[in-house]
Amino acid sequence: MSLDLDGLTLSPELADLMQRLTDTATTLQRIIARNGITEDLSAAQGVNAGGDGQKALDVIADEAFKDALKDSAVLYYASEEDDDYITFDGGNLALAIDPLDGSSNIDVNVTIGTIFSVFPAAATPEASFLRKGREQIAGGFIIYGPQLALIASFGDGVHKWVFDPDTGRFERLADLGKIPAGKAEFAINASNARHWPAPVKAYIDDLLAGETGPRGKNYNARWVASLVAETYRILHRGGVFLYPGDGREGYARGRLRHLYECAPIAMLIEQAGGAATDGVNPILDEVPTKLHERTPLVFGPVAEVKRVALYFTDPARAAQAADDQL
């Protein structure tokens, strides 16, 4: 077995699914490493169901995961790259997936990944997927960067594996602890500042004011345009991430998808002692109404995410409240 699952009490079906996901990831990592040698993986391939441009690697990854799931325990498959749900033969699991997150980074050799969410299969695809994220039995991502790594939760903490190219195995490392608090970093696409809602703009302005502003310290900005990369960094060293809705046409609910991007990331963040919201409400308590539904996303340490919410609900207190008063 290429994935070390020792010490984890997973059902045989879920354990097999995790093996298939990581086996496919090793294949994709080799394809990514050859970008430009045999084909241009960043070449345009059309538009997906959500209206985003598809790259060649988006399609390759989606097909690779679908092929890997044949004869598995996955009954229903929901992908960012497909217009509708796909039903396989038999099985008791439902897998939602963003096969290739961060595809705008393919041609510049920056970190990309795969995000996945697993639910128990219900009678229909809709009943399986359009439910609270708290009903996930697994959520996580695979990151294709300097290291090929898997970050996943099965509801009891956040686990980490790194692929060892010498042995061909994903070796399990120490579980991740709580998201470090107090890190003066934030991630948001600042090019959209003129479109942000007033609470988001006020929050970011207070951070940018630095040590002379209401937060009393200087902050650094980070933006990779890859959700897996942003999440990996925040899980390991802290900080806050924001992808708000904004005033542009089609962006009222942001651009991230609830089911196969935000829900699994929210599961990881909460399992690491943090919080993930749409700005105010916990992502895991929300129920999407359609496959490709979008939602704003804010995540990080609990106190900082609560502070962001105050900018929406009680702006007079938002900047000045102490962390233990949030």
Return the CATH number of 12-172, one of 3.30.420.10, 3.30.420.40, 3.40.630.40, 3.30.540.10.
3.30.540.10
100 is in an annotated binding site: yes
Determine the 3-state secondary structure of 294 from DSSP: strand
Alpha carbon distance 320, 279 (integer Å)? 18
Q: pLDDT of 173-217, one tens digit each?
A: 999 999 999 999 999 999 999 999 999 999 999 999 999 999 999
Helix and strand numbers, DSSP H then E, in the chain: 8, 15
Query: Domain boundaries in the chain?
Result: 12-172, 185-325
105 in a known ligand binding site: no
Pairing of β 185-187 and β 220-222: parallel
Quickly name the fold that domain 185-325 has: D-Maltodextrin-Binding Protein; domain 2 (3.40.190)
Q: What distance in Å separates the CA atoms of residue 85 and residue 93, rounded to the nearest whole number?
A: 13
Question: Is 189 labeled as ligand-binding?
Answer: yes
pLDDT tens per residue across span 269-323: 999 999 999 999 999 999 999 999 999 999 999 999 999 999 999 999 998 888 8
Q: What's the pLDDT tens digit per position in 98-133?
A: 999 998 899 999 999 999 999 999 999 999 999 999
- Please name which of 7, 33, 37, 3 lies closest in space to residue 20, comparing C-alpha atoms: 3
Q: pLDDT at position 220, please?
A: 98
5 appears as a binding residue in the annotation:
no
Which residues lie across from 74 on neighbouring strands?
A: 93
- Measured from the Cβ of residue 281, the count of other Cβ atoms closer than 10 Å reads 12
**Is 80 known as a binding-site position?**
yes
Q: Is 102 annotated as a binding residue?
A: yes
pLDDT digits (tens, 9 = 90+) for 9-30: 999 999 999 999 999 999 999 9
pLDDT confidence tier of residue 46, bands split at 50, 70 and 90: confident
User: Does the global pTM surpass 0.75?
Assistant: yes
Is 185 marked as a binding-site residue?
A: no
**CA 218 to mean position of chain CA atoms:** 27
Any binding-site annotation on 157? no
